[in-house]
Amino acid sequence: MAGKELREGFTTGACSAAAAKAAVRVLVTNQLLSEIETTLPNKRKVIFQLHRCESNGEAAVCSIIKDAGDDPDCTHGAELVAEVRLNDGNEIVLIGGEGVATVTKPGLGLTIGGPAINPVPRKNITEMVLEELNGSKYTGAEVRISVPGGLEMAKKTMNERLGLVGGISILGTTGIVKPYSTAAYKASVIQAVSVAKELGADTVVLTTGGKSEKFAMDLFPDLEPASFIQVGDFIGTGLKSAAKEGMRFVVVVGMIGKLSKMADGVMMTHRAGSSVNTELLAEIARTEGVPEAVCTETKTANTARHVLELWKETGHMNVLSVLCKRVSENCTKHAGADLKVSCHLVDFDGIPLGQYVA
């Protein structure tokens, strides 16, 4: 973990929201800008330099060049463009322009036929636009987000397989891109388990990120904060460390995507390194007596989230606890020790849907 500190960057969603905010201000004030201060989804305020700022009085176009920090991905250096037209329609309408994918399959939590602008960026863009409209004569806006060259960038992603056609997705849950260093992250997981042990804990709760950790804390309010460890994609490292430190219990809390990979024996769950095995999910459903038609749909589902929606619609949510049991079995085997591993599956709002208690 020693050495140069890695520099954070910004998400496509944060850049899009800032560009949209700038374009609205240009139209409201009739003045061109060189920079804009915006509020990220994590409530942090940031100033972005504008790459483009143009207006003809009826529409304004502003853009920002994405800086992904020291973890550049295929969208590093991309131009996020917002073209805005104001109206009195009491609604902020988001449209996908050039280089932004269109949603063509279910299971992504997005409207089929609509632009691939994820819920958090969508909310951030809307809030930033409304902030600039406050006090003006306008009550609505049409915002078109574009990414020149987005179609080429998308070829380096899994978008097309997921049914996201024609470009990239506008993503981000906090607005910040955290540099991805395998060695540093693994070291931090090992250290966190060690700290929990030193503080007297005999149980650690392993989660895959900030959201699942918050949900886990709601599930286990009596545990000390040090017992909760964000392992990211390194569930295997967390398990091995817990075994090495002599922990008695491990609780894995997550959502269906990551847990489906663990149920398939994958202990390094980064999306680029593995995909959800829907054949396995169909097999698990079949063992629980789920009708063959539903099993077939499960096997051909687009994403793990799509599977969850399918099981919910057909009344087969009981399969989720069986999935949790499979996760527990694989995690126990991977730990290679007499470690009791329980598993809790929650939805995207933190509502418990399945569990297996060892």
Cα–Cα distances (Å) from 90 to 86, 93, 136, 140, in that order, read 10, 10, 13, 5
In angstroms, the CA 356 to CA 123 distance is: 35
DSSP for 176-189, please give it: EEPP--HHHHHHHH
In angstroms, the CA 239 to CA 252 distance is: 10
CA angle 176, 108, 352 (to 5 degrees): 85
In angstroms, the CA 52 to CA 62 distance is: 5
Amino acid letter for position 46? V
Please give the chain's pLDDT, 358 residues, in tens.
334 567 889 999 999 999 999 999 999 999 999 999 999 999 999 999 999 999 999 999 999 999 998 876 789 999 999 999 999 999 999 999 999 999 998 888 899 999 999 999 999 999 999 999 999 999 999 999 999 999 999 998 878 878 899 999 999 888 988 776 667 678 778 988 988 998 899 999 999 888 899 999 999 999 999 899 999 889 999 999 999 999 999 999 999 999 999 999 998 866 444 578 999 999 999 999 999 999 999 999 999 999 999 999 999 999 999 999 999 999 999 998 789 999 999 998 999 999 999 9
Q: What is the pTM of this model?
A: 0.74
Amino acid letter for position 54? E
Burial 280-299, CB ≥16 within 10 A → b, else e: bbbebbbeeebeeebbebbb
- Residue 308, helix vs strand vs coil: helix
**Cβ pair 196, 226 in contact under 8 A:** yes
What is the architecture of the domain spanning 9-177?
2-Layer Sandwich (3.30)
- Residue 279, helix vs strand vs coil: helix
DSSP for 97-152, please give it: -TEE-EE-SSSSSS-TTSB-B-HHHHHHHHHHHHHHHTTSS--EEEEEEE-TTHHH
**Cβ pair 64, 125 in contact under 8 A:** no
Per-residue tokens: 180: 């991805």
Rounded to the nearest angstrom, the gap between the alpha carbon of residue 315 and the centroid of all alpha carbons in its chain is 26
Segments making up each domain of the chain, as ranges = 9-177, 182-356
